[in-house]
Structure 1
Amino acid sequence: MKSLIANNLKPLALCLPLCLCLGVPAGAVTVHSLDQVRGAIKSPEGRAAFDQQIGGVPQPDGFGTQLPQGFTKELLLAQLAPGQDPKRLTLAGAKPWPQQAQSYVAIVCLATTPEQAKTELHYDPSSCSGDDDTPHEVWFGVYTRDAQGAPRLVARTQAPVDTPVDWSDTDIDAPQSIGNDPKTGRAEGMPQSWLRFDFAAYRLRGKDYAFGVRTGWSEGYAGGGASFEALYLFLVDGAKLRVVFAQPMMYTKMLAGDWHKDGTRDHIQTDASNVLSVLNGTSDGFHDLRLQQRSGKWRRNFRWSPSQQRYAAVGK
């Protein structure tokens, strides 16, 4: 995620009353100056978000915008999002898929309008970061190479990804923008930003692997801010690529505290992160999954749901 001030095209709202009403969360760590905050963050994902937002460290090329040989932006847009306006394109990327020999995972990201894309690309030549007012549409695909070495599309999402992240049962604090589905009452929402591929070895069935995509949200407060991440898993189903898992994975939140005579200021830091494990047990041929808090007691198991054609949480 980008700097809290430069994230997107307009500054995030800075609201002192909001910080005050948030209060001091349980498990918070108070440090006495900004340069001590990073050391208080427990998760590597949280430290990376802090480095990018506060330290100005450039965000890595998480989607492979330096395209492999034979791939072009025009090819990816035409094959993954056919019929879409190329003037809306803000990012096209592809990376080798480590778990599948001679395979590549690809993405195209489109702004809502050509005008939005033009403005975003003025600040960042390749971006899929937005906010609640400037969402993006994303398509994904899996490629191999034909006998001549040219990219060959194997599977793709059939429409822009519209599966929300489920925040209804989690140890991870939710972004303020996450609402409740009017039909189910569940707390869920679409990401503000699409961040990077996650190529951990998610072997779900036999030799079938899923690939992950990390997504994010960011918030700005007076003297502080917050970052949130979630994980999507995509599974190849014939010529289709489907979302089979979408859960929160990390948050880190920094609130401003009291000023000191030397000009430094207290900062109140909280964070938590999860790790997803593939279990030996199976349900309907798919390996069970376990989402567990890193260095914590919270955990949830997930089993394959034939009716939903995706993973669903079981027990508490």
Structure 2
Amino acid sequence: MKAWPGQKDRYIVVACSTKATPDSNNDQANSCSYTENPRNKIIVAVLDYDGSGLPTLAAKPDIEKMMTSDIMGRVENIKGDTFAKSAFYLKNDQDQVVVGDLQRLDFAHYQLNSQILAFGIRLGVNTGYSGGYVSDQVMTLFAIIEGKVCPVLKVNTYHFENIAGEWHEDGTRDHDISEKEYVLSILPHQTNGFSDIKRTQKGARNKKGKIYRWDSQKLSYQ
């Protein structure tokens, strides 16, 4: 649970649950990282708490039931728009759908309109190779929409590659290293009462990027 900056007495909670099995580790305190017993549900809630009494829900929580994954977090048989609608599925470097590792909350000032402020949850996945690895990160924005905590946008935010090349006669190898980072900007123009959001690559000469606009039917950015 973390305090939501700029929101008086308001907190963000991300919780995970797993299905208990005879082999479950009773000493495992954080089910979000328990790969031997894959996550069953991920809950995102916003609580109000002024220090007295018990916390209360500020909105109906988002509860996403996860499909069974293996110990590497991989998920099979994703059909239709299940992947697109999920706040926590992403693809690794081998184009396999995985349940992302929860990394951190992002409290940048994502002001969607005069009434609604969003917060981000950053998720990641690493793909290992014999000669290196690839790391990917996505961020899902959440906001309270019509009384419910909802995922409103999921975008790729980071990609890093460190891949080894051919072996040299002296037993060394060259490494090809590349990195891309993306940032979100809230634009002054609005669509259906919500500010447009632009994603651009950090440091790139081409600042055209991609613009996401609010879809009042899907209640999310498209």
Structure 1 length normalisation: TM-score? 0.56
| 1:77 corresponds to | none
Judged with a 3 Å threshold, the aligned counterparts in structure 2 of structure 1 residues 174 and 291 are, in CA distance, closer, same or farther, namely farther
Q: How many residues align?
A: 199
CA deviation profile, 1:258-279 (whole Å, cap 9, x unmatched):
3345544311112211101111
Alignment partner, residue 58 of structure 2: 154
Q: Secondary structure at the match of 1:235?
A: strand
2:83 aligned to which of 148, 161, 164:
164
Q: Tell me the equivalent position of 1:252.
A: 160
CA distance in 1, matches of 2:95, 2:24: 23
**Residue deviations 1:36-84, cap 9 Å, x none?**
xxxxxxxxxxxxxxxxxxxxxxxxxxxxxxxxxxxxxxxxxxxxxxxxx
Is the Cα–Cα contact under 8 Å of residues 92 and 98 in structure 2 kept in the other structure?
no
Distance in 1 between the 2:23 and 2:155 partners?
28
Residue segments in structure 1 that go unaligned for 5+ positions in a row: 1-93, 167-172, 179-188
* Structure 1 position 228 matched with structure 2 position 136: yes
Which of 87, 90, 93 is the matching residue for 1:175?
Answer: 93
Please report how far the alpha carbon of residue 155 of structure 1 lies from its aligned counterpart in structure 2 after TM superposition.
1.8
Distance in 2 (CA, whole Å) between partners of 1:271 and 1:219 is 15
Q: Alignment partner of 1:164: what SS? A: helix
CA RMSD of aligned residues (A): 2.8
Contact kept in structure 2, 1:218 and 1:225, CA below 8 Å:
yes
Question: Against the structure 1 CA distance between its residues 200 and 154, is the aligned structure 2 distance closer, same or farther, given a 3 Å change threshold?
Answer: same
Taking the aligned partners of 2:23 and 2:111, their CA distance within structure 1 comes to 38
Q: In structure 2, how many angstroms separate the alpha carbons of the residues matched to 1:295 and 1:307?
A: 35
Counterpart in the other structure of 2:180 = 272
Query: Aligned equivalents of 1:225 and 1:106: distance in 2?
Result: 31
Name the CA distance, whole Å, in 1 between partners of 2:4 and 2:218. 26
Distance of aligned partners of 1:289 and 1:135 in 2 relative to their CA distance in 1, 3 Å threshold: same
Which residue number in structure 2 is paired with residue 142 of structure 1?
46
Distance across 2 between alignment mates of 1:99 and 1:116: 43
Question: C-alpha displacement at 1:280, in angstroms?
Answer: 0.8
Which one of the candidate residues 97, 109, 112 is aligned to 2:16?
109
After TM superposition, the runs of 4+ consecutive aligned structure 1 residues lying more than 6 A away are none
Structure 2 gaps, min length 5:
67-81, 86-90
What is the aligned partner in structure 1 of residue 150 from structure 2? 242
Aligned pairs for 1:63-212 within 5 A: 94-114=1-21, 118=25, 121=28, 125-126=29-30, 128-129=32-33, 134-145=38-49, 148=52, 150-160=54-64, 164=83, 175-178=93-96, 189=97, 191-212=99-120
Alignment partner of 1:310 is 2:215:
no
Matched to 1:100, the amino acid is Q
> Structure 1, residues 165-201: CA drift from partner, whole Å, max 9, x if none?
58xxxxxx953244xxxxxxxxxx5533222111111
Equivalent pairs: percent with the same residue?
A: 29
TM-score by length of 2: 0.77
CA contact (8 A) 2:17 2:31 kept: no
1:257-307 residue CA offsets vs partner (Å, 9 max, x unmatched): 233455443111122111011111111110110011111226100110111
Structure with bigger RCO (C-alpha 8 Å, 6+ apart) = 1
Query: Distance in 2 between the 1:115 and 1:252 partners?
Result: 39
Aligned position for 1:300: 210
Q: Secondary structure at the match of 2:59?
A: strand
Is the helix fraction higher in 1 or 2? 1
